[in-house]
A and B are shown apart, each in its own frame.
Chain A
Amino acid sequence: MLATKDVKQLISEHEFLRGMDPKHIATMSEFAKLKVVHENEYMFRIGEEADCCYLIRDGCIAIEVRHPSRGPVTIQTLGANKVVGWSWLTEPYKWQFDGRALALTRGVCLDSKQLREACEKDHEFGYQLLSRFVPVIADRLEATRIQLLDLYAP
């Protein structure tokens, strides 16, 4: 399936970018590439340069943090139609967590440096992109806050 569609089409179909102007889709497809992450493979590691924004088509990426005594602790999992990574949006542009595939995961990777440049060059594009990121960030912040409550604690 993946191979038969071109990157541009995959981007335009992704839920995260729904309603985006075709010319902006075209802009992004210039620096987009397909990316497959195999089960248990790390897609990114904490502290590495956040060089990519990843649109998941299918599969599952776990956001993990290494705990000295407990090993990796999964904080959140992200699956089909979700977007992974906004560390590239703010300095120092480094991943804040580990990202590991829990299953074979396929999607599209947008080059983050070029994304930033495109935003800088075309503020309308930047606005359209950020107005999609802000709800995602708000959503994850809310989820984190609920998680903090430790609802089912003894």
Chain B
Amino acid sequence: MEHRAGIEWSAQTSYVARADFNALIDALLNHGYIVVGPTIRDGAIVFGEVQSDRDFPVGATDVQDGGKYRIGEHTAPTLFSFAASPHSLKTYLYPSRSLLYSAHGSSGNFAVDAPAPQTPARYAFIGVRSCDLHAMNLQDKVFLEGAYVDPGYKHRRENAFLIAVNCGKPAGTCFCVSMGTGPKAPPLFDLALTEICDDSGHYFVVECGSAQGSAILACVPHRPAEATELHAAQEVVRGAERAMGRKLDTTDIKELLYRNAESPRWEKVADRCLSCANCTMVCPTCFCSTVEDTTDLTGAHAERWRVWDSCFTIDFSHIHGGSVRKSGSSRYRHWITHKLASWQDQFGASGCVGCGRCVTWCPVGIDITEEIAILRQTETDHETLPEEQGNARD
């Protein structure tokens, strides 16, 4: 995957001045979208509703490393000089809580209530990163492309307007280049922006990916991008490719994980892992859910809610007689093996998009790229005599 050809640039790109950025937001609002973009909340850059560029994290950047996230100051008043946030499209397209149905009756009899007539929100997302578009594409495989379709997801997905941003400033935990999922956004967007802020000015090079995209762009002052402007945009992406904070060698990775199912390494990870489930909550492809049943005090009204779940909880694998995956080591192994190996068997693609969120948000800094490197190293250790080994690892 490492050597996959880069995503091509559109034959036609447009120039939109920074000064006209608000016109883009206005166009979306005028088309009836709820506009969601990057905002600062609780010390992190997260998706939130925006009305204008004043809601954006102007001049802000982020500093990310294993178990670490800080907002920092960028050298220029940019709108998108940061990497993956704890939020991804999943937050909106696959909400953490959703009502499956309500029913009324008693234990002896019941009827499912007709669903309330919906006036579902239409969201426009500004600042969707390449890794997140890939992640959305993976969740599509789960919820749209199997024998059964999740109607709620389908609806939200079809009504989403997606404005991608090609990353210019990856974080220390990014490794999308290794996973073949960035930094250049794949053509799943309606519009894609590349932000340029240098001596020549502050502007966006815009690619159009759909008819809706063109319609919105038509409402924003723009002109065809000059060759120098397109070149500057391409340099932004090339710079991001070179600035990846981490890398993960995906060679033969499915087999690597399958043959290491009983590696002693899992115990080492489990010693650190708190089973807090953060990695699964921030992962943009993790799709597991559970169901909660509630009744009101009279017992005559019941609801079933679908809520995000995590394979790190003990109950996740409960069958009569107890949980299948009782040990922390088996749960971590399940997660990483699913992400990097069994996803390929299940959906024909890796379940990891290299966004680095699981590394950043792990309270103890467990690092998916490091674990894979260690598994590989452990295998080669077996082929070397002990005295040839380097320093002993933990």
User: Within 8 Å CB of A153, what residues of B?
Assistant: 321
Task: Give A153 to B320 CA distance when docked, in angstroms.
Answer: 10
CA distance A154 to B321 in the complex (A): 7
Question: Which chain B residues (233-289) contact chain A, with CB distance < 8 Å?
Answer: none
Q: What residues on B are CB-neighbors of A154 within 8 Å?
A: 320-321
A154 to B320, CA, bound (A): 8
Contact count band on B? under 10
Closest-CB distance, B1 to chain A (whole angstroms): 43
B164 to chain A, nearest CB (A): 54
Q: Distance in Å from the Cβ of A151 to the closest Cβ of chain B?
A: 10
How far apart are A152's CB and chain B's nearest CB, in angstroms? Answer: 10
Question: Chain A residues with Cβ under 8 A from B320's Cβ?
Answer: 154
A118-154 residues with Cβ-Cβ distance < 8 A to B are: 153-154
Contact with A along B308-329 (1 / 0, CB 8 A): 0000000000001100000000
Could you tell me the distance between the alpha carbons of A154 and B322 in the complex, rounded to whole angstroms?
A: 10
Q: How far is the CA of A153 from the CA of B321 in the complex (A)?
A: 8
Q: How far is the CA of A153 from the CA of B322 in the complex (A)?
A: 11
Closest-CB distance, B193 to chain A (whole angstroms): 60
Q: In the complex, which residues of chain A have a beta carbon less than 8 angstroms from the beta carbon of B321?
A: 153-154
Nearest CB of B to A148, in Å: 16
Shortest distance from the beta carbon of A104 to any chain B beta carbon, whole Å: 41
Q: A146 to nearest B CB, angstroms?
A: 16
In the assembled complex, the Cα of A37 lies from the Cα of B320 at a distance in Å of: 44
Within 8 A of A (CB), among B294-348: 320-321
**B211: min CB distance to chain A, Å:** 61
Give the Cβ gap from A140 to chain B, nearest Cβ, in Å.
Answer: 26
Q: A26-66: contact bitstring with B at CB < 8 Å (1 yes, 0 no)?
A: 00000000000000000000000000000000000000000
Who on chain A is nearest to B320 by CB?
A: A154
- CB of A106, distance to nearest CB on chain B (Å): 43
Write out, one digit per residue, whether chain A residues 85-101 have a CB within 8 A of any chain B CB (1) or not (0). 00000000000000000
Residues 202-218 (chain B) with a chain A CB within 8 angstroms:
none
Smallest Cβ distance from A27 to chain B, in angstroms?
Answer: 50
CB distance from B342 to the nearest CB of A (A): 28
One digit per residue, 1 when the CB lies within 8 angstroms of any chain A CB and 0 when it does not, for chain B 124-149 equals: 00000000000000000000000000
In the complex, residue of chain B having the shortest beta-carbon distance to the beta carbon of A152: B321
CA distance A51 to B320 in the complex (A): 47
**Nearest CB of B to A9, in Å:** 51
The smallest C-beta distance from B62 to any residue of chain A, in angstroms, reads 52
Closest Cβ–Cβ distance, residue A42 to chain B (whole Å): 38
**Complex alpha-carbon distance, A91 and B321, angstroms:** 41
Which residue of chain B is the closest to A153 with respect to CB atoms? B321
Output the least CB separation between B323 and chain A (Å). 16
Q: For the complex, give the distance between the alpha carbons of A27 and B320 in Å.
A: 56
In Å, the complex CA distance between A140 and B359 comes to 51
- Shortest distance between the CB of B319 and any CB in chain A (Å): 13
Min Cβ gap A71→B in Å is: 29
**A91: min CB distance to chain B, Å:** 42
In chain B, positions 164-187 with a C-beta closer than 8 Å to chain A are: none
- In the complex, A17 Cα to B320 Cα: how many Å? 45
How far, in whole Å, are A24 and B240 apart by their CA atoms in the complex?
A: 84
Q: List 3 A-B contacts (CB under 8 A).
A: A153-B321, A154-B320, A154-B321
- Which 3 A-B pairs give the minimum distances between C-beta atoms? A153-B321, A154-B321, A154-B320
B residues neighboring A (CB under 8 Å): 320-321
